Amino acid sequence: MADFKELYDLDPYRKEFDAAVVSCTEHHGTYEVILDQTAFYPEGGGQPADHGTLNNVNVLDVHEKAQGIIHTCDAPLTPGEKVHGTIDWDRRFDFMQNHSGEHIVSGLIHKMTGFDNVGFHMGEVIQIDFSGPLTEDQMREIEIQANRIVMRNEPVKALFPSSEELETIDFRSKKELSGIVRLIEIEDADLCACCGTHVRNTGEIGLIKLLSMQKHKKGVRIEMLSGMRAFRYVQKAMSENHKVSVALSAKELETSDAVNALLKTSELKDVRIREVSESLLKYRLNEYESGQKLIIDFEDDLDRNVLRRHGNDLAEKAETAAVISGDETKWNYFIISKTVNLKDKAKLINEALNGRGGGSAEMIQGSFAGEKEKIETELKRILG
């Protein structure tokens, strides 16, 4: 394979090429094809493989193995056959934009903090892991600097230094290097050993957007997008913000103020609703005659504190009072008694009604499930 040509390396903008089939081997229903040259980029360095076609055969995956670059195809090709290869260019160019954007961001973070890119994954979003933590302010600053590099339309250069030169250059690298090293240089942003595909000039990246930063091991994981994917993300985010702005009659750049005002109003309403429902509960206490043996009361959606208070109020009208709130899938219960040892009964109640909970001899609380009638029957049987 001495004269094998990796066309994606010589010209990452090559979308079509001609080649001869060297071999084709069936493997679990797919066909592993080796060509005498290829423009298909094999998965590597965090960049996914190219897709496309060889004649009318689909290329599903591309990997570099000891025997050469393997094109995994959905139909067989004949050794010796001439093929015309076409790269799925939208997919590849998206990877070139996102990969080049990642160089700029990783390079700038390295310059600013000295931290290294220790993990890189291109999925739906691009994830990069750094060896140390960054602040939100640093992240915003990196995003601004990265987009300035894009707007300056810097050339993305490939350098092939000799091993002697290499020892004198300070560059980023993700692994131990051997053989000829290709350095990717973007002035004022990055110098990094890399075998992936890149855009010619940073202007082609279009936009770099950092989406999020989370703690990861001893450093952080940053999610980012570049190119058309970043643009679509911003478009979607703006469309969501526009809907919020219309719904709240707020200016598009003042939606968070409007949402906070709405939340505050909603909290006040919650407080008011709680007050009203509690006074209603107090009023309804009059419906119960005093001196009863057992009161079982079902209520809609009381929070645990109100449930407890209402139970204590009902206990003045009965020897034993049970307040149950929720719906058939889950009821919260509070039971209080002057005559029954509830500690002994909690287990029976939980068993009968698929529940959990407990407490003291005088008071138990927890949750169970079931229809109202069944709960009433079981509680009368156990507590009556």
Of 194, 281, 321, 324, the one binding Zn ion (CB under 5 A) is: 194
Place of tokens 């109020």: 313
Q: Is residue 127 within 8 Å of residue 214, measured between CB atoms? A: no
Residue 235's alpha-carbon distances to 7, 95, 238, 340, in angstroms, are 35, 20, 5, 65
Closest to Zn ion by CB, 182 or 221: 182
Can you say whether residue 153 is alpha, beta or left, with left for phi > 0 and alpha for psi between -120 and 50 degrees?
A: left
> Who's near 273: CB < 8 A, 6+ residues apart?
none
Shortest Å distance, C-beta 105 to Zn ion: 12
Residue of 42, 52, 101, 196 that binds Zn ion (CB under 5 A) = 196
Question: In which element (H, E) is residue 274 found?
Answer: helix 255-284
Per CB under 5 A, which region of 1-9, 114-122, 187-195, 361-369 contacts Zn ion? 187-195
- Which residue's Cβ lies closest to Zn ion? 194
List own/partner pairs for 56-65 with CB under 8 A and 24 or more apart. 57/31, 57/33, 57/83, 59/85, 60/30, 62/38
Q: In angstroms, what is the minimal distance from the CB of 193 to Zn ion?
A: 9
Q: Which range binds Zn ion by CB under 5 A, 83-91, 107-115, 128-136, 188-196?
A: 188-196
Taking the C-alpha atoms of residue 180 and residue 361, their distance in angstroms, rounded to an integer, is 80
Q: Least Å distance between CB 265 and Zn ion?
A: 51
Task: Name the minimum Å distance from CB 182 to Zn ion.
Answer: 9
Instruction: Give φ, ψ of 142 to 5 degrees.
Output: -60, -40
Residue 326, sorted as left (phi over 0), alpha (psi -120 to 50) or beta, turns out to be left
CA 365 to CA 356: how far, in whole Å? 9
Tell me the site size for Zn ion, rule CB under 5 A.
Answer: 2
Q: Which stretch binds Zn ion (CB under 5 A): 56-64, 192-200, 278-286, 355-363?
A: 192-200
Site for Zn ion in 302-341 (CB under 5 A): none
* Choice between 14 and 308, CB closer to Zn ion: 14
Stretch binding Zn ion (CB under 5 A), from 128-136, 194-202, 262-270, 346-354: 194-202
Question: Of 159-167, 189-197, 257-265, 327-335, which segment contacts Zn ion by CB under 5 A?
Answer: 189-197
CB closer to Zn ion out of 143 and 185: 185
Nearer to Zn ion, 157 or 356 (CB): 157
CA distance 33 to 83: 11
196 versus 370: smaller Cβ distance to Zn ion: 196
Q: Which residues bind Zn ion (CB under 5 A)?
A: 194, 196
